[in-house]
């Protein structure tokens, strides 16, 4: 049995569903779930969006064939997330980023822990923007793509005071070291928040005091770096933009 989180579902024909799971041991796992046996009857189906589940998989024997789910049981249904529209939007956004970042059969255990931690932060918490900001910075770090937040990318000296965050160059520069005309500046305090989120233990971030306005402001600084680095804008950003107070 493998512990897995359901990230996306798509129906194929009348009986089959293709499920994309995130697992600690195998990275992404895509499998067909038609006829999968539910091991325990309960309120939640074991193969539904954002359900943490335990699955028994018949792995593909030939390239090009999909693995198949034989049986599944719920570990944690995250019911509160599926009852809140904004939490659902946030979970969909995080899933899309993971699906586009993590590979099949290439595990990144830190990303599994990050997603579980983020779902816990969402659950009944209400601060969607803070969760998304923490998730995005930590996903970049887990994948080894995190921006430079300590030293100026031009002169190499440690940044103190105001700086410029450049998505194209990959992090911070002194204001005096930026060649082109005026660029949006980031305060020392805001940079300290970004460093804190990137470097502290995941569990300690649950107590980070960051209101929604500040979270969305910081997200707007970081997000262009993410899209530039990944080479795409997640589709789910449109849904996030429909939430009150959120505009990228
Ligand atoms: Zn500099």
What pLDDT score does 130 carry?
92
Asked which of 49, 77, 105 is the last residue of a domain, the reply is 77
Higher-confidence residue of 102 and 246: namely 102
* CATH number (domain holding residue 71): 2.40.50.140
* Burial readout 134-143 (b: 16 or more C-beta within 10 A, e: otherwise): bbbbbbbbbb
Same domain, 180 and 221: yes
Confidence of residue 41 (pLDDT cuts 50, 70, 90): low
* DSSP codes, 208-248: ----HHHHHHHHHHHHHHHHHHHTS--TTHHHHHTSTT---
pLDDT digits (tens, 9 = 90+) for 133-176: 999 999 999 999 999 999 999 999 999 999 999 999 999 999 99
Q: Answer whether 236's CB lies under 8 Å from 207's CB.
A: no
Q: Which residues contact 220 (CB under 8 A, 6 or more apart)?
A: 248
pLDDT digits (tens, 9 = 90+) for 177-197: 998 767 789 999 999 999 999
pLDDT digits (tens, 9 = 90+) for 46-69: 889 999 999 999 988 777 778 899
Going from the Cα of 174 to the center of ligand 1, the distance in angstroms, rounded, reads 4
Expressed as residue numbers, the domain containing 117 is: 85-248
Other beta carbons within 10 Å of 183: 13
* CATH number (domain holding residue 89): 1.20.1440.120
Asked which of 77, 100, 119 is the last residue of a domain, the reply is 77
Confidence of residue 15 (pLDDT cuts 50, 70, 90): confident
Average pLDDT, the chain: 89
Angle between helices 109-122 and 85-101 (to 10 degrees): 170
Q: Answer whether 81's CB lies under 8 Å from 123's CB.
A: yes
Going from the Cα of 30 to the center of ligand 1, the distance in angstroms, rounded, reads 46
Neighbours of ion ligand 1 (CB under 5 A): 152, 154-155, 174, 177
pLDDT at residue 125 above 70? no
């Amino acid at each position: 049995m493998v512990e897995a989180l359901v990230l996306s579902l798509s129906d194929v024909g009348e009986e089959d569903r293709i499920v994309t799971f995130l697992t600690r041991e195998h990275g992404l796992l895509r499998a067909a779930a038609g006829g999968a046996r539910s091991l325990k009857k309960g309120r939640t189906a074991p193969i539904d969006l954002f359900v943490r589940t335990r699955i028994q998989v018949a792995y593909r024997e030939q390239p090009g064939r999909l693995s198949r789910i034989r049986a599944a049981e719920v570990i944690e249904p995250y019911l509160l997330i599926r009852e809140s529209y904004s939490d659902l939007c946030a979970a969909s956004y995080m899933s899309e980023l993971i699906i586009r970042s993590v590979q099949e059969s290439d595990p990144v255990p830190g990303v599994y822990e990050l997603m579980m931690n983020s779902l816990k932060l969402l659950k009944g918490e209400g601060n969607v923007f803070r969760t998304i900001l923490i998730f995005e910075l930590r996903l970049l770090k887990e994948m080894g793509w995190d921006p430079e937040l300590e030293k100026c990318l031009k002169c190499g000296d440690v940044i103190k005071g105001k700086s410029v965050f450049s998505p194209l160059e990959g992090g911070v520069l002194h204001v005096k070291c930026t060649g082109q005309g005026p660029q949006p500046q980031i305060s020392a305090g805001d940079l300290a928040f970004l460093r804190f989120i990137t470097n502290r233990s995941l569990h300690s971030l649950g107590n980070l005091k960051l209101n929604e306005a500040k979270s969305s402001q910081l997200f707007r600084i970081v997000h262009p770096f993410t899209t530039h680095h990944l080479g795409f804008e997640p589709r789910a950003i449109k849904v996030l933009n429909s939430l009150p107070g959120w505009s990228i």
